[in-house]
Structure 1
Amino acid sequence: MKTFLLLWAMPIAFLGAWYSLSYYDMSFGIFMLTREAHDLVFRIYGNVLGIPPETIPPLVMRAVVVDSLVLFAIMAFRRRKTIKAWWAARQVSSPDVVETRASPESLSSAP
């Protein structure tokens, strides 16, 4: 499962780093991190897909969110017994009504 998470997180981290660095034109002398390369990549993808280039980043973000939700649902399903035991223990240890009045000893004597 750790390998699966790593294989999911590394491309997303790489894409996010590239997108943010190239969007703000922090190139450090590398052409792929320039705003010109950023615009070129999205123009090429826009031409290939037949959509305007400015609509691609929100589509990619939506895909990342959906993929992340699916991944976390798979992880939760695999650990459902542990999560259920944790939830049951949490419900037992915390009653529905908690008395939170301060005792006279804990109150400040400041005017």
Structure 2
Amino acid sequence: KALKRALHSLPKDTNKSMMVVQHLAQNLNIISKTVRQHTRKQRSLSIELKKLVIQFYQRDDITYQLPGKRDYVTVTDDNGESMTLQKRILLYNIRETYQLFVDEYSNKNVDLS
């Protein structure tokens, strides 16, 4: 009777019901919790390249700084410290700005995205 109720209350989608049953079995220690987990690959930019891109976008020929007192944004850096930065507006669209960056720094490997 209990099995019939449990099967009836499972999701109709087979993939979802398999995930629910697998999670229940892991919680009850029937199967080990070290079932193949998908490991996410992170392809992050180097710190020097990040700083170079930020300096490029903060140049006055690429962006201009908004003049108002309220035109600022609060940003947290990698250390978790918050800092206030003046807002800047791009003079070109993203694709043109990327092309300017590639022309100037042709030895750096950076994609548009």
The TM-score normalised by the length of structure 1 is: 0.23
Instruction: From the two aligned structures, give the one with the greater strand fraction.
Output: 2
Instruction: From the two aligned structures, give the one with the greater helix fraction.
Output: 1
The TM-score normalised by the length of structure 2 is: 0.23
**Which of structures 1 and 2 has the larger relative contact order (alpha carbons within 8 angstroms, sep 6+)?**
2
